[in-house]
Structure 1
Amino acid sequence: MEECRKILVNGIASLNLNVTDGQVDQLIGFIKLIEKWNKAYNLTAIRNREEMTRLHILDSLAIVPHIEGKRIIDIGTGAGLPGIPLAICLPEIGFTLLDSNAKKTRFVQQVVLELKLKNVEVLHSRVESHHPEQGYDAVLTRAFASLPDIVKLTAHLLAANGVLLAMKGQNMEAEIAEINAESAVIPLSVPGADVERCLVRIQLPEQAEVN
């Protein structure tokens, strides 16, 4: 795991993030848990732990500067990405991690217990079935669906003035053209990974009336 730690520490420095040694230990612990559970639960197609560090952990942390609000929901969290790395590094923010796959939410719940994360709630549910009493400041998705589908499926979850944050590859013009909303494409750089990434920030025009 020393190589993973090195990749992580160097990547965090490249992203200019303020992360403690204890948080790095938790991130390493998360990688160990994915590796341990992956064979039985098929959490990720990536088996190499160094690649997990780059393409899962650093990829998730690349959006830290763009996180808004105090209540965030990660839709289709899968193995807890990006929600778990973000929750580790942003302990003052409350994260709800939602997925419809029971095996994956069971794994994420185990991660929360083992890493003693106090700011994470795990929900086994389909997104359209989740109706929170209080809306979220931000809805976060990573490799979840097309932008029009994300807007359609998650708009009911947002508080007034809440935002949708969709982690995507590049060339989003066609999908953006299909949504009736104010949007911004933020290029992302993932240290050590030769991948094209961006974050699409969407503010819905009728958002004040959603809840």
Structure 2
Amino acid sequence: MAKVYMYVVDRDFGFAPNPFHGFCTLATCKPRIRNVAAPDDWVIGMGGKKLKATGRCVFAMKVTHVVTYNEYWTNPDYNDKKPIPNGSKRIMLGDNIYSQQENNQWKQAHSHHSYPDGSTNIHNLTRDTKSNKVLISKHFYYFGRAAPIVPDLLLARLGFRNAIGHRTFPLAEAREMLSWLDQEFLYQQNQLIANPFNFDKGITHYSVENNRITVIK
């Protein structure tokens, strides 16, 4: 039976999730969700205090494909998701950053999750690769900084409150909220409705080691 996974988005750069190039993808962070989510499940990211967006929906994606890191890396359909250090901002935020070598060692591309000089951030790599799965959606709503307020009654009926970690709901329990999304935003499906909350911060690198963002320009 399909499920809905909901969590609070602390940082919204356009990296996790990555809403660019026609797909919404979750390829890093949230390994517990990535490890269990399957096609037809939903992942919903709600705003919180750090984004000053409590009660607002940052994104909602229906999982349409699940692939491994190596499948993501080698499939030319997802080449635009590979970061290029001197590319556009959207390209630099690419989340297609991991591949597993023949010796089973992981390779991390120069990216938002590497160190600024492009060297491997082992702390991010260790956390990200706790799941080898990438969630891909061709049926999504990405609102970014235009995140709409979800009616309090919907959240109350669902029983969702902002907290650490994620909540899992049977699809039937979340159907009212999903219907609200479809009815209110049908013609904005599969679009970048607005840039991510933190998109204008410059070239950034995040490290889970100290939960810190480094801005290099």
TM-score by length of 1: 0.26
**Structure with the higher helix share, 1 or 2:** 1
TM-score by length of 2: 0.26
Higher relative contact order (CA closer than 8 Å, sequence separation 6+): 2
